[in-house]
Amino acid sequence: MRLMTPADTFPFSSSLSPQQIDHTVPYVQGAAAVGSGQSRIGNYGPLRTFHYRIRTFGRWTVKQPFPGIYLWRDPYGQLYLVDHTGTRRLDQAA
């Protein structure tokens, strides 16, 4: 996972030392977790602790349509695409 995504996946982050590995789709414990595939390379993303808290307790959301491609939505609805080349703000159709 670190070879595919060596840096923090939060939009415009320049940190090369993320402190946590976050589940893009939140981890669920118990019987529902068995066989769900939640612990796989396409469901992980490294984040700094501050960015992890923004995602967990703020109104930011993230999806990972393909391993290593992160689609973030900020509280105002703006979309950002983050991959190994950096962050791009996505224009939304009116």
User: Tens digits of per-residue pLDDT, 50-69?
Assistant: 999 999 899 999 999 999 99
Residue 30, pLDDT score: 65
Higher-scoring residue by pLDDT: 81, 36: 81
Flag whether 6 is in a domain: no
Determine the 3-state secondary structure of 15 from DSSP.
coil
Flag whether 35 is in a domain: yes
Contact 80, 89 (CB under 8 A): yes
Domain count for the chain, please give it: 1
Flag whether 45 is in a domain: yes
Residue 24, pLDDT score: 81
Flag whether 7 is in a domain: no
pLDDT at residue 36 is higher than 60: no
Domain that holds residue 80: 20-90
Flag whether 38 is in a domain: yes
Flag whether 81 is in a domain: yes
| Cα 21 to chain centroid, rounded | 9
Flag whether 34 is in a domain: yes
Contact 72, 64 (CB under 8 A): no
Q: Predicted confidence band at 22 (pLDDT cuts at 50, 70, 90)?
A: confident
Flag whether 3 is in a domain: no
Task: Name 21's bridge partners.
Answer: 46
pTM metric for this prediction = 0.80
pLDDT at residue 1 is higher than 80: no
Question: Side chain identity at 71, as an amino acid letter?
Answer: L
